[in-house]
Chains A and B, each alone.
Chain A
């Protein structure tokens, strides 16, 4: 496999990075990077780390990197994660950095511990902590419960001062969304499966409205809604498909939530290199974060409306002869 880290890869401009990944020969991983500097979304880092977990460390090569890039990757824990050595000692330049280095989570108790730890690492106040904890918990729990991923979830997050945003990546190399959704809703394509997974009340565990005792099919809809209400990016990549919720326009005061994710302003498609598993990236702005309880009112209305519509689809019609 070949992965090239460009000088910039965030959710808004991630497509060229993704399209360049070469997944052939899964026994080797060669990491190259922009010579001058790199600035990347945590989801990119998580993807590299998740790929590396499936490769013998002796078969991972990382070209000699310039100081700044090497420092960043070291600080985020990539070399430790992949069990490869960085070529020089790294001096911490930013002790007050607000980031969560690459972390692997394989079970429920590790997740609970992780959620407690990330809030002080990101220096979040309680107003913003709710959304972040919510997003991380629901996404990682999806991996633990549905992904059947040998290495669990690879998670990382970072605060970006310039945009006052927390960016989060959660990645696995499990069965992917299509296989999970297909258990209850057979789909033809990965994008169709992602669309269903983002629809309120749809879960791969049952076709019954209201879900099972354990799953309601609400998690991803909640997270997409949190991103939308905050006018931020949200990306989900599985198989050969990507759904990317685009950043909302600031000047629009009213934000509408939709049960069908295709009604949201989005991009993506089905012509990406095949990611075996699921990669999710989400941005949460600390400047615009709506009060979490207000956000829940909006989510509730859309959720209930969508459930009602789905229920109505099952109504029998009178047969007039």
Chain B
């Protein structure tokens, strides 16, 4: 199981899409391809933009299918971050 601490990579406001893409390409996808599970730890993150979360997970949902969420957990999210992640997951299922 791979645990990724977002705070270390983004600071307390997760908005940099370039960093989100890097996390996806260099950490999440290789772990999933190795049949590993991933924990995205948002401890210390006060807020995130929809753009950040989109760049982090939308392509994974599109490529692997929605069941990929069985292998990805979102840890220590505050209410705002939970909702932003929820919005992205919802609209990706509608697309």
Contact B80 A307 (CB under 8 A): no
B62 contacts chain A at the CB level, 8 A cutoff: yes
Q: Which of B7-35 contact A (CB under 8 A)?
A: 11, 13, 15-18, 21
- Docked-complex contact A214 and B87, CB < 8 angstroms: no
With A134-B49, A216-B50 known as contacts, the answer to whether A300 contacts B15 (CB < 8 A) is: no
Q: Does A133 lie within 8 Å of B15, measured CB to CB?
A: yes
Inter-chain contacts of B55 with A (CB < 8 A)? 213-214
A210 to chain B minimum Cβ distance, whole angstroms, is: 3
Q: With A and B bound together, what is the CA distance between A218 and B49 in angstroms?
A: 10
Indicate if the CB atoms of B94 and A210 lie closer than 8 Å: yes
Residues from chain A with Cβ under 8 Å of B17 in the complex:
108, 141, 214
Choose from A129, A133, A303 the contact partner of B87 (Cβ within 8 Å): A303
Number of interface residues of A (CB under 8 A): 37
Question: Binding site of B, secondary structure by majority: helix, strand, loop or mixed?
Answer: helix
CA distance A111 to B11 in the complex (A): 13
User: How many Å lie between the Cα of A300 and that of B49 in the bound state?
Assistant: 13
Specify which of B47, B54, B84, B95 is in contact with A133 (CB 8 Å cutoff). B47
Annotate A300-320 by CB proximity to B: 1 below 8 A, 0 otherwise.
100110011001000000000
Residue from B11, B50, B83, B92 having most chain A Cβ neighbours under 10 A: B50
Interface residues of B (CB under 8 A from A): 11, 13, 15-18, 21, 46-47, 49-51, 54-55, 58-59, 62, 79-80, 83-84, 86-88, 90-92, 94-95
List chain A positions with a Cβ less than 8 A from chain B: 108-109, 111-112, 115-116, 126, 129-130, 133-134, 137-138, 141, 201, 208-211, 213-216, 218-219, 222, 292-293, 296-297, 299-300, 303-304, 307-308, 311
**28 sampled A-B residue pairs with Cβ under 8 A:** A108-B16, A112-B16, A116-B11, A116-B13, A126-B46, A130-B80, A134-B15, A134-B47, A137-B51, A138-B49, A138-B50, A209-B94, A210-B94, A213-B55, A216-B54, A216-B58, A216-B91, A218-B50, A218-B91, A222-B50, A292-B80, A293-B80, A293-B83, A296-B87, A300-B86, A304-B90, A304-B91, A307-B91
